[in-house]
Amino acid sequence: MIGDKKVLFSGMQATGNLTLGNYLGALKNWVKLSDEYECFYCVVDEHSITVRQNPAELRKRARALLTLYIAAGLDPEKNCIYYQSHVSAHAELAWILNCFTYMGELNRMTQFKDKSAKHADNINAGLFTYPVLMASDILLFQADVVPVGIDQKQHLEITRDIAQRFNGIYGDVFTIPEPYFGKAGAKIMSLQDPAKKMSKSDENPNGSIYLMDDPDTIIRKFKRAVTDSEGQILYRDEQPGIRNLIDIYRACTGKSVEEVLAEFDGKGYGELKMAVGESVVDQLRPLQSEVERISKDKAYLDGIIKNNAEKAGYYANKTLRKVQKKIGFPERIR
């Protein structure tokens, strides 16, 4: 709790290019939370290096992601938007929490198994202890709530277990975070494989709409979107490609399923794809314009990076010093 507000923590990795799924499913909803919560939104660059990164590319993507946060409507005066690597308390607390986390707990993490399969040539210790760094991210700010998708639910559970274990030994040190289940964002699936989520790491670039794709690229990708041979525009599980297109159209236009089905009654898949593509172009145009405008103002961005790193560091270090004292580290001489 900071002031009268509960604390909310979230972040995105500084790898790949954000997709329409990231925007409609998460980022767009974050904007609505800053009035209700004290929000910390992290550009997660320390987690990113569990997979080898090109250094110049990582720096560029981190800045681009921070710019996107602001362009999407996150006010950096109301929300603390910062780089994870600029607040050393993340890594310091993670080491301490490693000593309160059991190997068996980490062995059960499904994301470690999945990522190990994808990166068999680089199964590093950081990948294994990834959930502990995530626990550190959350617990540093005494977060009351954390927005989680299905793929992160297990990580929040281990965060709660670690916090409760630490509190059981040393008293009330950490706030036990709860999952945030606000209004569900649109779940956007791949345009080429509607059985799986649209992903910034998709090997097929035609499966994802990236937030900075130009209008021609967006329309082309929708024209290539996988549908089926039924020839009817219905909203049902048996037609996952059509269902996904309808979900995207609804998220961009605010229309109900019934309104969309009425609009396309008797029309073909080609017309649906074109309409969805154009609605996405309209949705992303103001975002892209804001990214372009903000990117040109280096002094403005640098000021946000500096000021918010200091703000995040202040709150993070309050927790870290408390933890260090509890476990018996010598006090710092100031």
Pairing of strands 145-147, 37-44: unpaired
Please state, in angstroms and rounded to a whole number, the distance separating the CA atoms of residues 300 and 307: 11
For residue 228, the number of C-alpha atoms closer than 13 Å in the C-beta half-sphere is 17
Helix, strand, coil distribution of the chain in percent, nearest 5: 55, 10, 35
Alpha-carbon 115 to chain mean position: 17
Phi and psi torsions of 80, nearest 5°:
-90, 105
Burial class from Cβ neighbours inside 10 Å (0-12, 13-18, 19+) for residue 266 reads exposed
Of 51, 46, 50, nearest in space to 12 by CA = 46
Phi and psi torsions of 64, nearest 5°:
-65, -40
Q: Give me the residue label for tokens 């345009």.
A: 191
3-state secondary structure (DSSP) of residue 112: helix
Quick check: is 115 catalytic? yes
DSSP 195: T
Q: Active-site residue among 6, 197, 221, 273?
A: 197
Look at phi and psi of residue 123 and say left if phi exceeds 0, alpha if psi is from -120 to 50, else beta: beta
Distances (CA, A) of 23 to 73, 209, 289: 11, 10, 15
Please state, in angstroms and rounded to a whole number, the distance separating the CA atoms of residues 197 and 247: 13
Quick check: is 255 catalytic? no
Q: Active-site residue among 5, 28, 187, 200?
A: 200
3-state secondary structure (DSSP) of residue 12: strand
Q: Active-site residue among 6, 115, 221, 273?
A: 115
Quick check: is 196 catalytic? no
Report the catalytic residues. 115, 197, 200
